[in-house]
Amino acid sequence: MALLPVTMCGDKILRKKTVKVTEVDNETIELITNMFDTMRNANGIGLAANQVGADKSILIVDISLVEDHEEVKPIVLINPKIKKFSDEKSVIEEGCLSIPDIREDVERAEAITVAYHDTDLKEHTLEIDSLLARVIQHEYDHLQGILFTDLVSDEAKKRIKKPLSKIKRRKIDVEYPISDSVDYQIVF
């Protein structure tokens, strides 16, 4: 088990669109395995590669520990692309490992259609809803350089301005490893 340091808001890599994966080699598999270890250690349910300093279009999700979602298997999405958003929306409070201790309401599509590649680079399409759709949208946004705090109300943005500043300066206390300020890409 290898725990990777989680990047924090303010790190440049979180604002950059990630790079498409063209080959899944041993290093990519090791990255994915370490991402699962890191996410589970931090009690997360989703993680994007740039959240651990890797500039790759990879996200993982495991909502099986959430009540009523025990049957949902962990999933790896490589080069995901959301093809369709439902007209039906829902507002739910979200948080993020890269923005610890901040939770705010975010409106997202209730259902999505997402195309992605698996670890064999075979293409798949999923039509999903509920919590799995929300988590994939949240992590997909990371791969586009978007944070959930970008999607909150103006009132919420004012309310979280000071706590975000503390996170950017690493004046926080979390139970998982965090990165120093990341201006670089970890090579895998």
Give domain status of residue 95, yes or no: yes
139 is catalytic: yes
Give domain status of residue 57, yes or no: yes
pTM: 0.94
CATH number at residue 153: 3.90.45.10
Give domain status of residue 6, yes or no: no
Which secondary structure element, helix H or strand E, spans residue 22, and what is its range? none
The active-site residue, picked from 123, 127, 139, 155, is 139
Tell me, rounded to whole angstroms, the distance of Cα 88 from its chain centroid: 22
pLDDT digits (tens, 9 = 90+) for 49-65: 999 999 999 999 999 99
pLDDT digits (tens, 9 = 90+) for 16-37: 999 999 999 999 999 999 999 9
pLDDT above 70 for 161: yes
* Across 135-150, average pLDDT: 98
Count of domains observed in the chain: 1
Give domain status of residue 56, yes or no: yes
Give domain status of residue 28, yes or no: yes
How many Å apart are CA 95 and CA 53, to the nearest integer?
A: 19
Tokens of 171: 């004046």
The CA-atom distances, in angstroms, between 87 and each of 82, 84, 107, 147, 173 are 14, 9, 12, 22, 39
Domain residues for the domain of 65 are 12-168
Give domain status of residue 107, yes or no: yes
